[in-house]
Amino acid sequence: MILLLDFDNTLFNLEQYRKDFGMEGTRFGDDPALYIERLTESTDLSRYVFRDVLDFLKDYAQHHLVLCTAPYPGQTLYQREKVEQSGILPLFDETIFTDFAEKRSKGDVAAKKFQGSQEKIVFLDDAPAQIKSMEECCPNIVSVKMNRKEISYVYNVDYSASNEVTNLKEFAQLLKSF
């Protein structure tokens, strides 16, 4: 099985990170210099990894684990550093950074990368737009929406996935049904 796992607000508590670093209510594009400055103030962001992540990744290590993240224009290096400081990067077999500047969604990249794969592919993300794109590009991939109770979600796209979970324990239970 191939598991495509989103980073921000799925594995990493971006909301708490922003709050703790004085960036609450903002996005990277609002003030990139501030975000980069705050990131350089830290070398260890592991405390923002949700508590269920390490156990889940270790329990599913026998599967092909792919970290899939979509940085905005100008954010790629920042996002890579944030992922590295989280400490979970070594637990993945592969990492995909899509590029919004090239208007490539996670679905576009997955469609090309895993075309013809005979393995079951499951995509976990919190963003309705990414889920919608994945389902449009890759109808054979099972999409699951993460809706963590710790996060106040606000999205521009209203789209419901056929599967929804609130933590990785629920996701693991769902995976057993595939």
Domains and CATH numbers, the chain: 2-175 (3.40.50.1000)
DSSP assignment letter at 90: G
* b/e code 1-33 from CB counts within 10 Å (16+ = b): ebbbbbbbbbbbbbbebbeebebeeeebeeeee
**143 bridge partner residues:** 123
> Are the beta carbons of 121 and 2 closer than 8 angstroms?
yes
Question: pTM for the complete prediction?
Answer: 0.89
Q: Which residue's entry shows tokens 């996670």?
A: 106
pLDDT per residue as tens, the chain (178 positions): 999 999 999 999 989 988 888 877 777 667 777 777 777 788 899 999 999 999 999 999 999 999 998 766 667 788 888 899 999 999 999 998 876 555 567 777 777 788 788 899 999 999 888 888 888 888 888 999 999 999 887 666 677 788 999 999 999 999 999 8
